Amino acid sequence: ELKVEQNPLFLSMQEGKNYTIYCNYSTTSDRLYWYRQDPGKSLESLFVLLSNGAVKQEGRLMASLDTKARLSTLHITAAVHDLSATYFCAGSPSTSGTYKYIFGTGTRLKVLA
Amino acid sequence: EAQVTQNPRYLITVTGKKLTVTCSQNMNHEYMSWYRQDPGLGLRQIYYSMNVEVTDKGDVPEGYKVSRKEKRNFPLILESPSPNQTSLYFCASRPGTSLTDTQYFGPGTRLTVL
């Protein structure tokens, strides 16, 4: 059974600093997703990572996938206040085809001016 | 505008009173899914549908029903709601079954069961 764990759960960081959010998963996952949720809002898709070594970047966010370590990371470069949100990773069990999603508990990021 | 809509956005009800939360998408997506979001638990998948008349259970289907009679609609039915179903519910859709397909989420329905 696929389990997805994120850490840290809460992250308070200064503007301009770099930090990484970690997403570990327990069994084989066909792909790994990252989502963003602003307070009181819905979820927005950020990245889809399909294969070992995959790296995707959008602005100050960069996501990577290491399938051997069962680890994905979301790296934040030179944080700005607008990045304050909750970030979720999600996997999809290989046995489910492309239909099931298992989410992590989320990382609440607060960027302080 | 391409979107996923949910109704109602907020609902307060009492234990045992049947309710339906509607979800509709205008993007001709094949796949639709329901999630619930609870503090400290992230999102958990309730049911999903790969296409019309094809549905399957997610991780937490107990106490919920769904139907997919039309491609655009995927209602979530609570036949006899209980307080432990108080939650924030999201509907999502995606184009099809490609590995790269991304999900588009609705605005959410906040349900309180007294």
Nearest to B99 among A30, A104, A105 (CB): A30
Among candidate residues A96, A113, A43, the one with its CA nearest the CA of residue B106: A43
Chain B nearest C-alpha distance from A97 (Å): 8
With an 8 Å Cβ cutoff, is A54 touching chain B?
Answer: no
Mean local confidence (pLDDT), B20-45: 96
pLDDT for B100 equals 77
pLDDT at A87 over 90: yes
Is residue B110 within 8 Å of residue B98, measured between CB atoms? no
CB contact under 8 A, B97 and A45: no
Distance CA A37, CA B60 (A): 22
Closest CA to A49 of A62, A59, A63, A37: A63
Q: Can you give the length of chain A in residues? A: 113
Write out chain B residues lying below 8 Å of A99, CB-based: 31, 48, 50, 56, 97
- Using the Cβ of A43 and the Cβ atoms of chain B, whether some distance falls under 8 Å is answered with yes
- What is the CA A21 to chain-centroid distance, rounded? 7
Pairwise CA distance, residues B4 & B102, whole Å:
13
Q: Is the pLDDT of residue B98 over 90?
A: no
**Phi, psi at A95, each rounded to 5°:** -75, -10
- Residue A49 pLDDT greater than 90, yes or no: yes
Q: Which residue has tokens 């070992």?
A: A52
Which of chain B's residues have a Cβ under 8 Å away from the Cβ of A106?
42
Classify B84 as helix, strand or coil.
Answer: helix
- Provide Rg for chain A, Cα atoms: 14
pLDDT band at B24 (very low <50, low <70, confident <90, very high): very high
Rounded to the nearest 10 degrees, how much is the dihedral formed by the CA atoms of B13, B45, B5, B113?
Answer: 10
pLDDT digits (tens, 9 = 90+) for B35-53: 999 998 999 999 999 999 9
pLDDT digits 0-9 by tens, B69-90: 999 999 999 999 999 999 999 9
Is residue A78 predicted with pLDDT exceeding 80?
yes
- Listed range (A87-101, B31-45, B96-110) with the worst mean pLDDT: A87-101
- Of A45, A88, A100, nearest to B102 by CB-CB distance is A45
Query: Model confidence at A3, in pLDDT bands (50, 70, 90)?
Result: very high
Geometric angle at alpha carbon B22, from B16 and B23, rounded to 5°: 140
Q: What percentage of residues in chain B have a pLDDT greater than 70?
A: 99
> How many CA atoms lie within 13 Å of B92's alpha carbon, on the beta-carbon side?
28
Q: Do residue A42 and residue B106 have CB atoms under 8 angstroms apart? A: yes
Residue B109: pLDDT over 70 = yes
Which of 61-90 (A) contact B at CB < 8 A? 88, 90
> At residue B2, does pLDDT exceed 90?
no
| pLDDT at residue A96 in the model | 67
User: What's the rounded Cα separation, in Å, for the pair A63 and B56?
Assistant: 30
In this complex, do B42 and A101 lie within 8 Å of one another by their Cβ atoms?
Answer: no
Smallest CA–CA distance from A46 into chain B, residue = B102
Percent of chain A with pLDDT over 70: 96
Q: In this complex, do A88 and B59 lie within 8 Å of one another by their Cβ atoms?
A: no
